[in-house]
Amino acid sequence: MNKMEKAALIGSVLLAVAAFALVALVVFQPADVAPAADNTRAMGYGGAVSGALVDRLVAPDGSPNPAVQVGNDGTATFYGPLVVDGDTASFASMDAVSITVSNGGWFFLPNGQILGGYVGNTIDSSAVGAVILNGGSSGDLQTILDGGTRSTIIAGDENSIDAQNGFIGAGLNNIIASGGADSGIGAGSANSIDTIRSFIGGGRLNVIDGSGSLGFGFIGGGQQNTIYAEGGGAYATIAGGYGAYTRSYGEMAHAAGYFATAGDAQAAEYVVRRSVTHSSTAWSSLLADGSTATLIPLVYTDTVATLDILVSGESVGGAKAFSYHILAFVENDGGTVAILASTVTTVYEDDSDFDCQLAADDPNNGILVQVKDATSGSDVVRWVATIRSAEVTFP
């Protein structure tokens, strides 16, 4: 193909694109008609609206729409783009949930809402900017409640959102409850979130629960996995699997089933840290957020766990470096936490005055990775430890 032929081909493509854009503008743009005095307007494509709300039906060019049929029951059905507009009186009792659509119909409702899918799907009038695009069926309706401002449901059946900025992509009977602001569920069935800024990718019967400012949990999929963010269990992760359960801050858990209840046969991983100025000979505990004494790895009641702990430390500029390895066995016997066995191996240290140990924190039902400088030389050291745990519970 020579240059002229290439230029002609490109010109033809551009002309076709321009023609399509012009047609789209003509066909799909709503009519430029004055809204009702209460500024209420609904626009839709391929559905039906209920009779009392229909005062005037117009085509995109403002002329009467020939593709509209009005039945004896007062229901107007249309087969192309239209605008439903009227005077103040005809819309006096209208709110966002008073417009119903047939399967596949979309309506642009007051308060920036878009309602589509099955005829019974509903968006509460208080949920400004909420969107239901599709899905729903008889008895399995899609719902955005009054707390669902700016929330979206794409497809599926019987999904529900009652928190702002929520998202459900598809699936069946997924729920974002009132505590789940800024949270999302990709798909799956019977998954639920009731804590902020969390996400469930899919799977079945997965739960992220909590209160207040806690949350930030992630479950990728699987079945019957639970993140319990109450009391400090925020920022937890369960990638998938079956029957894992987290309660600790930043915990990551995995299970392939359970004996009696979720979490009674699982692996877990924790990360603790702290910047310590070693100005005394006291032991300093590493903590999940680096500062809060109660945010530690928990040992559940009637649980034993074998622990593999790696500890690293470094002073400013790498002047001193430290590495320790702890193997331990711990139990929580009816609420009393104890270290049954512990071996500390020094992998490397630039200063032999430093040491590391594992201790029980019985009042808080947890364990503590601790470090100290026996000569209190005032070195500032950043410490980090990862704790891998094999846990079994038998009440």
* 18-27, 250-259, 348-357: range with lowest mean pLDDT: 18-27
Q: How confident is the model at residue 305 (pLDDT cuts 50, 70, 90)?
A: very high
Give the tens place of pLDDT for each residue, 159-192: 999 999 999 999 999 999 999 999 999 999 999 9
Exposure on the CB side of residue 168, measured as CA atoms within 13 A: 37
Tell me the whole-structure pTM to 2 decimals: 0.78
Residue 108 has pLDDT above 50, yes or no: yes
Q: How confident is the model at residue 106 (pLDDT cuts 50, 70, 90)?
A: low
Q: Can you say how many angstroms the Cα of residue 221 is from the centroid of all Cα atoms in its chain?
A: 12
Q: For 266-393, CATH number?
A: 2.60.40
Comparing CA positions, the residue from 173, 180, 166 lying closest to residue 141 is 173
Look at the alpha carbons of 63, 66, 72, 77 in this order and tell me if their dihedral is positive or negative.
negative
Alpha-carbon distance values, 377 to 60, 277, 286 (Å) = 81, 9, 19
Amino acid at 182: D
Q: How confident is the model at residue 230 (pLDDT cuts 50, 70, 90)?
A: confident
Could you tell me the residue ranges of all domains in the chain? 266-393
Q: What is the mean pLDDT of residues 115-122?
A: 83
Q: What is the mean pLDDT of residues 286-297?
A: 96
Segment holding 19, helix H or strand E: helix 3-28
Q: What is the dihedral of CA 326, 327, 331, 335, to 10 degrees?
A: 10
Give the tens place of pLDDT for each residue, 195-223: 999 999 999 999 999 876 689 999 999 99
| Contact assessment for residue 185 and residue 193, using Cβ atoms and an 8 Å cutoff | yes
pLDDT value of residue 395:
97
* Bridge partners, 386 (sequence order): 271, 310
Give the tens place of pLDDT for each residue, 11-33: 454 444 443 333 333 333 333 32
pLDDT value of residue 2:
55
| Contact assessment for residue 123 and residue 137, using Cβ atoms and an 8 Å cutoff | no
Alpha-carbon distance values, 334 to 337, 391, 395 (Å) = 8, 15, 8
Give the tens place of pLDDT for each residue, 134-166: 999 988 999 999 999 999 999 999 999 999 999
Residue 77 has pLDDT above 80, yes or no: no
* Of 291 and 26, more confident: 291
